[in-house]
Amino acid sequence: MPHPLEILQIVPRLPPSISGVGDYAYLLARQLRLAHGITTRFIVCDTEGISYSEIDGFDVKELSGRTETELLATLGETDARVILLQYVGYGYQKRGCPVWLVRGLEEWKRRNSEARLITMFHEISAFGPPWTSAFWTSVLQRNIAARVARVSDACMTNRKLYADILKRLSRGVHEEIPWLPVFSNVGEPENVLPLKDRKRRVVVFGSAASRSRVYEKSMAALEKVCHSMRIEEVIDIGPTIRSVPSSVNGTRITQLGPIPGEQVSRVLLNSVIGVFDYNPAYLDKSTIFAAYCAHGVVTINAAGNAHDFEQWLTFDELEVSQCVPNSDLLADEVTPHGRHASYRAHSLSKHAISIARQVHIVTGA
């Protein structure tokens, strides 16, 4: 029998694979063990050729075939009483329609009625124009998400819109679905320096696609930031891309590549501005935005049309000019869209507390 305070996490990938959901699951497992004494075992469904047996002391089992039969056999071996499913359709099936997964979980619940399934929804369904597969599979994706919600004993998500949708899809099974924006996967410093005490530098951090959009679509805005804020250096962090220029209007760009999270954290703590490109409607899902907020940098989102960006930029210039370099205001007091103080409401510890409460329901601890 498993330890009474133990959960089994089902996740598409785990580090060292590059995966936001994998990072989320791994960091959550560490926090549950550290703060709540809850042990985690993992089932990984997409190993990308990586051979796992454990990660940081957590046992890992692999699903090589990703079938209902294999899932049920693996769950039977673990004798799990609490499963935490990290749900993102495309992580379990290339078209985002993991029928095998929902069938397996429904059968597992039928056989184990007293066990508990907790699902964190990172997405529900995709959408796109008629010439894309997302257009034709979106209805099936939503139906599968609805079945997952209904078979789950508790659900969480990272967007309020998703919570509202899931409440409808669950057909009365879940009246309340908590939603917590994602946390920073590169650290959560307790304290941040005043902006006046930081280096006058900009950070461009994120995926290859996100950073490429910054350099290819928003160079004029980046030049304006560097000029008006008297920026001395731009730090580029992430996978190698070809579109990174050597300088921005005379301000050098230093490429650090894909560095460890602890190093990213140190860079952010000593920078004044973070620039990224992300759909504003989905900021709750952005780990880059969360990282900027957690480290108290003034955040500029390069997404949107030029006029929208000019409004952001003008506002940020006014705010920063009041506190750099002659004010004692902290960075969290001038970050316009996600201050360091408000970030704590959806920090890693808050996510872990929400999961721990659900675990205690079934264990009686």
Buried b (16+ CB within 10 A) or exposed e, 145-180: bbbbbbbbbbbbbbbeebbebbbebbeeebeebebb
pLDDT at 218 exceeding the cut of 50: yes
Q: How many CB atoms lie within 10 A of CB 327?
A: 15
What would the pLDDT profile of 244-271 be if each residue is shown by its tens digit? 999 998 999 999 999 999 999 999 999 9
Q: Is 37 within 8 Å of 69 (Cβ atoms)?
A: no
208 versus 133: the higher-pLDDT residue is 208
The amino acid at residue 142 is R
pLDDT at 317 exceeding the cut of 80: no
Q: How far is it, in rounded angstroms, from Cα 252 to Cα 344?
A: 33
The tokens describing 19, both together, are: 């995966």
- Average pLDDT on 220-233 reads 86
Cα 121 to Cα 12, 142, 157, 197, 320: the distances in Å are 13, 12, 5, 39, 36
pLDDT of residue 300: 83
Q: What is the residue-averaged pLDDT of the chain?
A: 85
Q: Percentage of residues in the chain with pLDDT exceeding 90?
A: 60
323 versus 246: the higher-pLDDT residue is 246
Highest-confidence segment of 97-106, 295-304, 319-328, 334-343? 97-106
The tokens describing 36, both together, are: 């709540």
Q: How far is it, in rounded angstroms, from Cα 353 to Cα 58?
A: 19
- Average pLDDT on 142-164 reads 96
pLDDT of residue 129: 63
Q: Is 109 within 8 Å of 82 (Cβ atoms)?
A: no
What would the pLDDT profile of 83-129 be if each residue is shown by its tens digit? 999 999 999 998 889 999 999 999 999 999 999 999 999 999 986 66
Q: Is 5 within 8 Å of 41 (Cβ atoms)?
A: no
Taken in order of first residue, the domains within the chain and their CATH numbers are 6-181+347-363 (3.40.50.2000), 195-345 (3.40.50)
What would the pLDDT profile of 17-45 be if each residue is shown by its tens digit? 878 899 999 999 999 999 999 999 999 99
- Average pLDDT on 54-72 reads 92
| Surface-to-core class of residue 181, CB atoms within 10 Å of its CB (0-12 exposed, 13-18 middle, 19+ buried) | buried
Task: Determine if the peptide bond prior to 181 is cis (ω within 30°).
Answer: no
Q: Among 80-89, 154-163, 339-348, 349-358, name the one with the lowest average pLDDT.
A: 339-348
Buried b (16+ CB within 10 A) or exposed e, 30-60: bbbbeebebbbbbbbbbbeeeeeeebeebbb
pLDDT at 301 exceeding the cut of 80: yes
The tokens describing 314, both together, are: 């003008």
Q: Is 42 within 8 Å of 25 (Cβ atoms)?
A: yes
For residue 302, name the pLDDT band (cuts at 50, 70, 90).
Answer: confident
Note if the pTM is more than 0.85.
yes
pLDDT of residue 321: 43
For residue 280, name the pLDDT band (cuts at 50, 70, 90).
Answer: confident
For residue 364, name the pLDDT band (cuts at 50, 70, 90).
Answer: low
For residue 332, name the pLDDT band (cuts at 50, 70, 90).
Answer: very low
